[in-house]
Amino acid sequence: MTSKIAVVGTGTGTAYDTEVLRGAELVVGGRRHLDAAALPRAAERVVLGPLAPALDIVEEYLGKERRVVVLASGDPGFFGVVRALAERFGPGRLDVRPGVSSVATAFARIGLPWDDAVVVSAHGRELRTAVNVCRARPKVAVLTGPGAGPAELAAALAGTCDDRMLVVASALGDPRHEHVERVTPAEAAARDWGSAVSVVLCLDEKRALGAVRTLAGPAPQPAGWALDEGAFTHRDSMITKFEVRALALARLGPGLGDLVWDVGAGSGSVAVECARLGAAVVAVEKTADGVERIRANAAAHQVDVAVVHGSAPGALLGLGDDPDAVFVGGGGRDLPAVVTACARRARRAVVVAMAALDRVPAAREALTAAGFTCDGVLLQSSRLAPLPGDVTRLAATNPVFLLWGVRPPASSEGVVQ
């Protein structure tokens, strides 16, 4: 019979499976797991650091049909070591004994269900994805790591997510050292949390309970987008028409974990649509009444949009994180400077909507000068409109030129500052 690797999860209230440990000849795990387990004296111990050398030793033992046990935290199949083991040795070689995950334990400690929570890992990964998910969703669990702990997460959220509360859960399952604390982002950013943090929950406590769900995890994608203009409050039809919005959304590609800027946002229709599709969104608008309309439209559609009152390009200097994509819907005579400022920081794409054809060459030059590949289209549409006598005519909308620039993949990491 081919020997299997026993993968044992523990540390959040789940006891070690002593029967599995009793016959172990090789035990691999973090130092704290090895120290806490009653291991056979003859068993070789490998402290888990870099994964590849440990897997090589596991392979040697398996080749000799010797008994291997891997110790892990919580549920090792949930952002854990099971993936690496299955990729190397195949799922059929694994005997997984899951414990309670840190996410489930943290939510249990504060008495909240978590079937509607979004779980994102920042352990060994880019922190910005976790930050953007926290900005966009009311209930998020963040698995932290070195350089991506509560303080770093909170520092990125401070000032833009003042309605969020962080729950920092440390040493879950350890009766002597477990600690669960609610703090604001500003409070969390000023603390040294040490290395015992298990998970951080980021909550909008007004929406933390959530509605009854059928599907777990992130909210489903909206049933439709490019909503009719009537779905938004706007002034004198000053709103990006739904035909233009449809193509703009296709070129922006907003999704969960992304950050999108809507510059010259007006009513905020593009900003709201991007937020409905899961992105974290910052809307920049120069008029005070426009700022209020954006906030009202975001509230009406139950999405989070951070609104900055100011004129671009100057207002963009205070926006900390580089966006994945930018929509430019305003700018007037300053449009070339606005597009240039956005293109310098956009990681993936910039989309520009213009009614004045005279401004197209300068906007295109700004995109290509920043290293983007550029394309565009003039959108002209005629909508069905009723006439007396139960007949219909075609009513033309104003033509709009939509220009988009896409950063080539090879340069997407080298954003010009």
pLDDT in tens, 391-405: 999 998 889 999 999
| 8-49 pLDDT, tens digit each | 998 776 666 778 888 899 999 988 888 888 888 889 999 988
| 150-195 pLDDT, tens digit each | 999 999 998 788 889 999 999 998 888 899 999 999 999 999 999 8
3-state secondary structure 30-64: CHHHHHHCCCCCCCEEEECCCHHHHHHHHHHHHHC
Helices (H), 166-308: 185-189, 242-252, 269-276, 288-300
Do 50 and 93 belong together in one domain? yes
CATH number of the domain bearing residue 333: 3.40.50.150
Q: Which of 179, 96, 160, 110 shows the shortest CA–CA distance to 139?
A: 110
Do 345 and 389 belong together in one domain? yes
What DSSP designation does 221 have? Answer: P
Asked if residue 223 belongs to a domain, the reply is no
Distance CA 240, CA 211 (A): 32
Do 21 and 131 belong together in one domain? no
| 327-380 pLDDT, tens digit each | 999 768 899 999 999 999 999 999 999 998 889 999 999 999 999 999 999 999
Percent of the chain with pLDDT over 90: 74
Asked if residue 260 belongs to a domain, the reply is yes
| 257-308 pLDDT, tens digit each | 999 999 999 999 999 999 999 999 999 999 999 999 999 999 999 999 999 9
Q: Which tops the pLDDT comparison, 390 or 263?
A: 263
Do 125 and 20 belong together in one domain? no
CATH number of the domain bearing residue 130: 3.30.950.10
Residue 360 has what pLDDT? 94
Query: Does residue 116 carry a pLDDT above 60?
Result: yes
Asked if residue 417 belongs to a domain, the reply is no
Asked if residue 213 belongs to a domain, the reply is no
Asked if residue 64 belongs to a domain, the reply is yes
Asked if residue 215 belongs to a domain, the reply is no
Q: How confident is the model at residue 1 (pLDDT cuts 50, 70, 90)?
A: low
Question: Where does a domain end: 85, 100, 115?
Answer: 100
Do 80 and 130 belong together in one domain? no
Do 93 and 111 belong together in one domain? no
Mean pLDDT of 63-82: 92
Distance CA 126, CA 109 (A): 28
Distance CA 387, CA 372 (A): 46
Order across the sheet with 118-121: list the strands: 118-121, 139-143, 197-203, 165-170, 179-183
State the total domains in the chain: 3
| Pairing label, strands 179-183, 165-170 | antiparallel
Phi-psi region of 410 (alpha: psi -120 to 50; beta: other; left: phi over 0): alpha
Residue 409 has what pLDDT? 84
| 306-327 pLDDT, tens digit each | 999 999 999 999 898 999 999 9
Residue 411 has what pLDDT? 52
Question: Where does a domain end: 100, 122, 154?
Answer: 100
Q: How confident is the model at residue 416 (pLDDT cuts 50, 70, 90)?
A: very low
Residue 375 Cα distances to 119, 343, 365, 404, angstroms: 36, 14, 11, 6
Q: Which are the contacts of 12, defined by CB distance < 8 A and separation ≥ 6?
A: 73, 74, 99, 100, 101, 102, 104, 105, 172, 173, 198
Asked if residue 362 belongs to a domain, the reply is yes
Do 236 and 360 belong together in one domain? yes
What DSSP designation does 78 have? Answer: S
Do 157 and 266 belong together in one domain? no
Do 314 and 280 belong together in one domain? yes
Q: For the whole prediction, is pTM greater than 0.75?
A: yes
Q: Is 384 exposed, middle or buried (0-12, 13-18, 19+ CB in 10 A)?
A: exposed
Mean pLDDT of 120-148: 94
Do 176 and 318 belong together in one domain? no
Distance CA 371, CA 411 (A): 8
Prior bond of 313 cis (ω within 30°): yes
CATH number of the domain bearing residue 62: 3.40.1010.10
- If you average pLDDT over every residue of the chain, what do you get? 91
Residue 219 has what pLDDT? 80
| Pairing label, strands 165-170, 373-379 | unpaired
**Residue 381: domain span:** 229-411
Question: Where does a domain end: 72, 100, 128?
Answer: 100
Residue 49 has what pLDDT? 84
Residue 414 has what pLDDT? 45
Residue 164 has what pLDDT? 95
Asked if residue 217 belongs to a domain, the reply is no
Do 84 and 179 belong together in one domain? no
Query: Does residue 64 carry a pLDDT above 70?
Result: yes
Is the Cβ–Cβ distance between 327 and 266 less than 8 Å? no
Do 242 and 274 belong together in one domain? yes
